[in-house]
C-alpha cells in the first residue's frame, strides 16, 4: 500500500478502532459493514498497518496494531518446535 488510503482502507481502520479485541460480534460487523470475510479483512489489515499512509492517518492505532501483531508473532515463534531462547 503506497500513497493515499482509499475508502475501504479507512473503513477497515474505523472498524478496528471500534473493536480493539477480537470477538464473534466483530466478525459479524466485518461481514455486514464491509461485505468481506474475516479472513480477507485480516489479510487487508495486515497490509494496511505496514503502510506509511496508514501510519500518517492514525499513528496511535497503527502503532498499537503493529505492537499487537509483533507480540503475537513472538509468542508463536516461542512455541515453535526447535525454538531456543
Residue-number span of the structural domain to which 47 is assigned: 7-75
58-85 per-position pLDDT tens digit? 999 999 999 999 998 888 888 767 655 5
Burial of 1 (0-12, 13-18, 19+ CB in 10 A): middle
In a domain, 28, yes or no: yes
Provide the domain count of the chain: 1
The mean predicted confidence, pLDDT, of the chain is 87
In a domain, 27, yes or no: yes
In a domain, 1, yes or no: no
Q: What are phi and psi of 74, to 5 degrees?
A: -65, -40
Residues in Cβ contact with 39 at an 8 Å cutoff, skipping those fewer than 6 apart: none
What's the CA gap between 27 and 41, in Å, rounded? 9
Tell me the pTM: 0.79
In a domain, 62, yes or no: yes
Amino acid at each position: 500500500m503506497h500513497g493515499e488510503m482509499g475508502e475501504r482502507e479507512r473503513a477497515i481502520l474505523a472498524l478496528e478502532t471500534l473493536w480493539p479485541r477480537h470477538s464473534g460480534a466483530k466478525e459479524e460487523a466485518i461481514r455486514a459493514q464491509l461485505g468481506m470475510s474475516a479472513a480477507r479483512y485480516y489479510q487487508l489489515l495486515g497490509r494496511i498497518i505496514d503502510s506509511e499512509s496508514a501510519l500518517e492517518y492514525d499513528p496511535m492505532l497503527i502503532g498499537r496494531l503493529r505492537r499487537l501483531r509483533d507480540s503475537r508473532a513472538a509468542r508463536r515463534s516461542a512455541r515453535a518446535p526447535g525454538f531456543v531462547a
